[in-house]
């Protein structure tokens, strides 16, 4: 770690009795809290509580904020995360006082606008995905996965024939096995060498004790699962469901509907596809869409419409119940709604087309300098590896660190696991050709450096405020809080 | 990269060393090299059973979390608990101090189904 230019902790700036504001002299008599509040509710003095002036506090947090790297500062091609630009108009909409000041206990008759927005957003998501019904409740993607798997489990239990297994290919997202496990299923993994799942591989393990196949399409290598319809037929023939992780929906909007390909359940990551802040900027939101057969199992409350009035519906005896306090991350729904309305059907389609075009442009430009394990048209992201550079002792981590010297956020690295030394790049549609060309130029320079002067890459980053972190000790001996 | 001749290997990158009906299991030099710095390891309890090709534990590096697959079926009679506190030994000495479990196997023939050092070396070359 470089020294000298690091902002001290706020605790370290503290000086005894220094305060940020002067309070007017109180015109009430002093009350000793010890005399009026019982001891168990009284807090002792906080050891090391920082005492700073207002200016010191402002400078401290402004400096920290300037060290931030986000989509608003530069290119952030973090594969699988869809770090697209979040239009500021979404923020304006979320701050409309009718939304931002609404109380979750406010009665439905006083929340008609909010309920209408939720009802319509469910409809838009159904339309985009080809599903019959949607819940907006789950807090983020993996929560949505859990919601979907719980509904599938509930379906088989309601039929009196519980099923135990879920098939997951190794090209699915890493959270899929965890979500299945949490919902009580045993995971059967199928391995694919060619980048996409073959119907034969599914047929060889699909049986009548298998509740579902869980896949990600486009998959985590950025490839479209072209056999999806045939695979879905195999699963359906044995009475199972097809769950599609919709985290990569940014490649498909307005072009193809997963519901038409035999998918029965899908989760949407509003914070990815529908341009709401994430990666530290805000909570996620993971609505789930289902085909008619699973609708009775959706979480409560449902948003229902009678005539022109909207209401919360609790009368769903088969429901898996409530998954989140109140109604999900409502502020995120407002932003996603605003985005969908601003884009319209044609705009969403164009966004997906541009996302796919940008990823293919990067892949084509870089595929000679970097190893491309699956050389075919990709979707919204492409996966390269360090195979060529590793011969000179330069690995994926080094390449990622060196990109920081050129002002870019590194791509996702060492994921997916099926590609050793993976470098997973997702540019999204919101970047200009000039920005993407700058990124390509930086990647080409790094490839040259790795060949000619590998030490430069191995010792990167040099221009950042902090150099390489001790990742081993950060995991083994984490220091999670400041102590006086 | 080291591929000791006297060991047998699985395609999941575990090695096995048989002494009468006791088989010692660990992960290979190639596995530790691909994982990078190992920071955490989870091993089964003594007395539990492990099944060939099924998971018996977890190894975590700064890059990724990976399952450990047992190359044989049997009862775990000894666990290398020292690895829990010093998982870095897996990087330093994968075939020696970083052995993970000792398994009492019922069917010694299982060992013969595993790859020889030459076969494993070839498998690794292809996987690269």
Kind plus residue range of the DSSP H or E element containing A263: none
Nearest residue in B to A390, CA atom: B128
pLDDT at A345: 97
Check whether A192 has a pLDDT greater than 80: no
The domains of chain B are located at 8-106
pLDDT at A2: 41
Mean pLDDT (whole number) for A127-141: 97
**Chain A residues contacting B via beta carbons under 8 Å:** 387, 397, 413-415, 417, 420, 471-472, 475-476
Beta-sheet pairing, A422-425 with A382-385: antiparallel
Mapping DSSP to helix (H, G, I), strand (E, B) and coil, where does residue A59 land?
helix
Question: pLDDT, tens digit, for every residue of B56-96?
Answer: 999 999 888 889 999 999 999 999 999 999 999 999 999 99
CATH of domain A88-342: 3.40.640.10
Instruction: State the Cα–Cα distance between residues A182 and A198, nearest whole angstrom.
Output: 27
pLDDT at A281: 73
Domain B8-106: CATH architecture, name and number where available: Beta Barrel (2.40)
Alpha-carbon torsion A29, A35, A40, A45, what sign?
Answer: positive
Question: pLDDT, tens digit, for every residue of A385-432?
Answer: 999 999 999 999 999 999 999 999 999 999 888 898 999 999 999 999
Instruction: State the Cα–Cα distance between residues A445 and A442, nearest whole angstrom.
Output: 5
pLDDT at A289: 98
Instruction: State the Cα–Cα distance between residues B93 and A5, nearest whole angstrom.
Output: 39
Beta-sheet pairing, A186-190 with A165-169: parallel
Q: Does any CB of chain A come closer than 8 Å to the CB of residue B116?
A: no
**pLDDT above 70 covers what percent of chain B?**
99
Strand partners, B28: none
Nearest chain A Cα distance for residue B88, angstroms: 9
ipTM of the predicted assembly exceeds 0.95: no
**pLDDT above 90 covers what percent of chain A?**
82
The domains of chain A are located at 88-342, 351-474
C-alpha distances out from residue A314 to A107, A150, A157, Å: 14, 18, 21
Question: Quick one: which of A246, A298, A255, A293 has its CA closest to A274?
Answer: A246
Q: Which two tokens stand for residue A320?
A: 């898996």
- CB contact under 8 Å between B39 and A475, yes or no, is yes
Phi then psi dihedrals of residue A475, to 5 deg? -85, -45
Check whether A3 has a pLDDT greater than 50: no
Q: Does any CB of chain A come closer than 8 Å to the CB of residue B62?
A: yes
Nearest chain B Cα distance for residue A158, angstroms: 31
C-alpha distances out from residue A229 to A198, A199, A225, A258, Å: 11, 9, 9, 10
- CB contact under 8 Å between B37 and A471, yes or no, is yes
pLDDT at A5: 60
Q: Does any CB of chain A come closer than 8 Å to the CB of residue B63?
A: yes
Question: Quick one: which of A229, A175, A178, A170 has its CA closest to A199?
Answer: A229
In the CATH hierarchy, which fold is given to the domain comprising A351-474?
A: 3.90.1150
Q: Which two tokens stand for residue A272?
A: 């990815």
Q: Which two tokens stand for residue B92?
A: 């330093």
Q: Give the number of other CB atoms < 10 A from CB of residue A484.
A: 7
**Which residue of B34, B62, B66 is in closest CB contact with A472?**
B62
The pTM of this model reads 0.89
Helix (H), strand (E), coil (C) string for A420-471: CCEEEECCCCCCCHHHHHHHHHHHHHHHHHHHHCHHHHHCCCCCCCCCCCCH
pLDDT at B63: 84
- CB contact under 8 Å between B64 and A415, yes or no, is yes
CB contacts, 8 Å: A397 with chain B: 36, 63
Nearest residue in A to B124, CA atom: A420
Mapping DSSP to helix (H, G, I), strand (E, B) and coil, where does residue A242 land?
strand
- CB contact under 8 Å between B37 and A420, yes or no, is no
Q: How confident is the model at residue B23 (pLDDT cuts 50, 70, 90)?
A: very high
- For B:17-56, CB contacts with A below 8 A are 34, 36-37, 39-40
């Amino acid at each position: 770690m470089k020294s000298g230019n690091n902002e001290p902790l706020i605790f370290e700036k503290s000086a005894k009795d220094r305060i940020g504001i002067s309070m007017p002299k109180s015109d009430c008599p002093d009350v000793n809290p010890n005399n009026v509040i019982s001891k168990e509710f009284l807090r002792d003095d906080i050891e090391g509580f920082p005492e700073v002036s207002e200016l010191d506090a402002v400078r401290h947090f402004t400096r920290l904020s300037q060290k931030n790297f986000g989509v608003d500062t530069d290119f952030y091609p973090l594969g699988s995360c869809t770090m697209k630009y979040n239009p500021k108009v979404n923020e304006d909409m979320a701050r409309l006082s009718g939304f931002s000041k609404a109380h979750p206990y406010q009665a439905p008759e006083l929340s008609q606008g909010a309920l209408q927005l939720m009802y319509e957003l469910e409809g838009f998501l159904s339309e985009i995905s080809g599903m019959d019904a949607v819940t907006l409740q789950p807090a983020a993607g993996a929560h949505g996965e859990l919601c979907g798997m719980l509904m599938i489990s509930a379906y088989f239990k309601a039929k009196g024939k519980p099923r135990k297994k879920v098939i997951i290919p190794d090209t699915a997202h890493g959270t899929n096995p965890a979500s299945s496990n949490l919902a009580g299923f045993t995971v059967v993994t199928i391995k694919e060498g060619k980048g996409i799942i073959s119907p034969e591989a599914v047929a060889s393990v699909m049986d009548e004790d298998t509740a579902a196949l869980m896949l990600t399409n486009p998959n985590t290598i950025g490839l479209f699962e072209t056999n999806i319809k045939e695979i879905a037929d195999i699963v359906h023939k044995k009475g199972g469901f097809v769950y599609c992780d919709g985290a990569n929906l940014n490649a498909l909007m307005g072009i193809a509907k997963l519901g038409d390909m035999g998918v029965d359940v899908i989760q949407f990551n509003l914070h990815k596809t529908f341009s709401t802040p994430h990666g530290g900027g805000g909570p996620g939101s993971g609505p789930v869409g289902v085909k008619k057969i699973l609708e009775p199992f959706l979480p409560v409350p449902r948003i229902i419409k009678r005539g022109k009035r909207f209401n919360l519906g609790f009368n769903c005896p088969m429901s898996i119940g409530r998954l989140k306090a109140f109604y999900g991350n409502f502020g995120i729904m407002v932003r996603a709604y605003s985005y969908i309305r601003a884009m319209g059907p044609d705009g969403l389609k164009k966004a997906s087309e541009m996302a796919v075009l940008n990823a293919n442009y990067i892949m084509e430009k870089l595929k000679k300098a970097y190893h491309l394990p699956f050389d075919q048209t990709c979707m919204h992201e492409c996966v390269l590896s360090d195979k060529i550079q590793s011969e000179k002792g330069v690995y994926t981590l080094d390449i990622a660190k060196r990109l920081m010297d050129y002002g870019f956020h590194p791509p996702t690295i060492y994921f997916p696991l099926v590609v050793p030394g993976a470098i997973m790049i997702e540019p999204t549609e919101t970047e200009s050709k000039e920005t993407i060309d700058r990124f390509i130029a930086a990647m080409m320079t790094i490839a040259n450096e790795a060949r000619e002067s590998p030490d430069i890459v191995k010792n990167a980053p040099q221009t950042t405020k902090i150099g390489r972190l001790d990742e081993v000790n950060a995991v083994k001996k984490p220091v999670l809080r400041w102590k006086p | 990269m080291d591929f000791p001749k006297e060991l047998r290997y699985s395609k999941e990158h575990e090695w096995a060393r048989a002494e009468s009906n006791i088989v010692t299991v660990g992960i290979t030099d190639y596995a530790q090299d691909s994982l990078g710095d190992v920071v955490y390891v989870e091993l089964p309890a003594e007395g539990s059973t492990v099944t060939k090709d099924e998971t018996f534990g977890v190894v975590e590096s700064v890059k990724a979390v990976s399952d450990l697959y047992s190359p044989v079926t049997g009862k775990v009679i000894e666990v290398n608990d020292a690895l829990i506190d010093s998982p870095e030994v897996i990087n330093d000495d994968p075939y020696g101090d970083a052995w993970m479990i000792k398994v009492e196997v019922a069917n010694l023939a299982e060992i013969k189904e595993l790859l020889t050092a030459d076969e494993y070396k070839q498998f690794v070359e292809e996987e690269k």
